[in-house]
Amino acid sequence: MVLETLRHKICPLAIKRNFMKKITVIILLFLAASVGSFAQSGFSAGIKGGPNFSTIEGGNANQIYSQRTGFHAGVFANIRLQRFGLQPEVVFSSQGAQIDLAQTEEKFNYVNVPILVKFYLTDFLNIQAGPQYGFMTSAIAESSGGNVNVESLYKDSDLSLALGVGIELPFGLNIEGRYNIGISDINDSPDTTTALNNQVYQVAIGFRFFDVNK
- Per-residue pLDDT for 3 more than 70? no
Is the distance from CB of 20 to CB of 183 less than 8 angstroms? yes
Helices (H), the chain: 2-36
Confidence of residue 160 (pLDDT cuts 50, 70, 90): very high
pLDDT at 2 over 50: no
Q: Which pLDDT band, with edges at 50, 70 and 90, does 30 fall under?
A: low
CB contact at 8 A, 73 and 90 = no
Distance CA 146, CA 144 (A): 6
Q: How far apart are CA 208 and CA 44, in angstroms?
A: 6
pLDDT tier for residue 134 given thresholds of 50, 70 and 90: very high
pLDDT at 142 over 90: yes
The predicted pLDDT at position 24 comes to: 60
CATH of domain 2-212: 2.40.160.20
Q: How confident is the model at residue 93 (pLDDT cuts 50, 70, 90)?
A: very high
- Calculate the CA 144 to chain-centre distance: 30
Task: Please give the average per-residue pLDDT across 28-57, as a whole number.
Answer: 75
Task: Please report, for residues 16, 49, 79, 100, 127, the alpha-carbon distance to residue 35 in angstroms, rounded to integers and kept in the order given.
Answer: 29, 28, 9, 49, 22
pLDDT at 103: 85
User: Within 13 A of 111's CA, how many CA atoms are on the CB side?
Assistant: 4
pLDDT for position 4 = 43
How far is CA 200 from its chain centroid?
Answer: 7
Contact between residue 172 and residue 148 where contact means Cβ atoms under 8 Å apart? no
pLDDT of residue 45 exceeding 70, the answer is: yes
